[in-house]
Structure 1
Amino acid sequence: MPLIDMYERPGFMLRRAHQISAAIFEGSCAELGLTQAQYGALTVLSLEPGIDQTRLARALAFDKVTVLRVLRGLQERGLIAREVSESSRRQMAVRLTPAGARLLKKAELPVHEAYNKLMAPLNSKQREQFIALLQQLTDGLGEEARAAFVPLARPASGR
């Protein structure tokens, strides 16, 4: 197989796009010391205070090891608190601390800037098409993933 064929394969391009996305995000959020995974966890926790670790992992499409690693890092920084769930003694409930809520608020502008930088090569129509195609791909092949994805229900406002 010629090398160009490998470079044009969807898996290679998706991995490369993820590398670029992560680099842009982490560059924008460097002063905050925030990764995409940590931002995702903080965002879900802001919307679902007291969520258990299993639901959090599924809402982010993380495996149990990854979600635990992310949560430990956030807990060490005092951004989240974990405690035994009131509904199940075998589950850990997770919530933002006030420091976590403040960091999430500070991240709004750099996260928005990272999104704009990542999408800059595309015009508005291409952006819509790109997101729609990614959604179609992930919806159509979601069963193949190593980690389950169970999105949280959207609030009534649609956001």
Structure 2
Amino acid sequence: MTSGSKAHDVITKATKASGARAKRATAAETDRHGPDLEWRLRELQDRPGFLIRRLHQIHVALFLEECAAEGVTPVQYSVLTALDQMGGAEQVALSLAVGLDRTNIADVLKRLEQRALVARRVAPEDRRMKIATLTDAGRELLGRVEAGAARAHDRTIAALPPAEQEQFLGQMRILVRAYGELSRSPVSFA
């Protein structure tokens, strides 16, 4: 049995056990107080928000472990990747591509510019706008980080059987697209 299969079995057993407890507790309480009480009665570890936040923390830890030698964060990697894919981009367009608000994108770009990974210049058509571009050093860093970032992404979902990994990613895309505009920093999907 692979470590992914073992992890999947552990997760499945834990989910079934906590689900049974939640069903017993909620059946009686829901009858008395309505369906809104169901989430309050669920254990914290069984709530979507908690699980999403924990999975994000786990992914960040895996990414930092895999890419520690380059000193790049997942957010910086996303910005560098977006610039590589977009070419030069105005900061607002870049913030929409990676889901960061304008203040945070400016701060990230400033740090990347200090490391000579990104160059910024004033847009000729509107001096209030700044265009960010990836430098040669930024492209080289992306090349060095690519394998580690790929391993971090793979490790994040490795506990799922291969057939379920793509399904899980698809379900996350559905949720992000359905509710993305509610975020402080919505993402523009092509």
2:169 alignment partner in structure 1: 131
- Per-residue CA deviation, residues 99-154 of structure 1 (Å, 9 max, x unaligned), is 11110111111111111211210111110111111111112212211112113x4x
Larger Rg: 2
Equivalent residue runs for 1:57-136 within 5 Å:
57-136=95-174
Tell me, in whole angstroms, the C-alpha distance in 2 between the residues paired with 1:143 and 1:45. Answer: 22
TM-score, normalised by the number of residues in structure 1: 0.90
Tell me, in whole angstroms, the C-alpha distance in 2 between the residues paired with 1:142 and 1:75. Answer: 29
Cα offset for 1:97?
A: 1.1
- Per-residue CA deviation, residues 5-43 of structure 1 (Å, 9 max, x unaligned), is 222110010000000011101111100101111111111
Over aligned residue pairs, what C-alpha RMSD do you find? 1.3
Tell me, in whole angstroms, the C-alpha distance in 2 between the residues paired with 1:49 and 1:18. Answer: 28
Tell me, in whole angstroms, the C-alpha distance in 2 between the residues paired with 1:119 and 1:47. Answer: 24
Tell me, in whole angstroms, the C-alpha distance in 2 between the residues paired with 1:118 and 1:143. Answer: 25
TM-score, normalised by the number of residues in structure 2: 0.76
- Number of residue equivalences: 151
Amino acid corresponding to residue 135 of structure 2 in structure 1: T
1:16 alignment partner in structure 2: 54
3-state DSSP of counterpart to 2:126: coil
Q: Which runs of 5+ in 2 are unaligned?
A: 1-39
Query: Any runs of at least 4 consecutive aligned residues in structure 1 with deviations exceeding 6 A, and if so which?
Result: none
Amino acid corresponding to residue 92 of structure 2 in structure 1: T
Tell me, in whole angstroms, the C-alpha distance in 2 between the residues paired with 1:46 and 1:71. Answer: 14
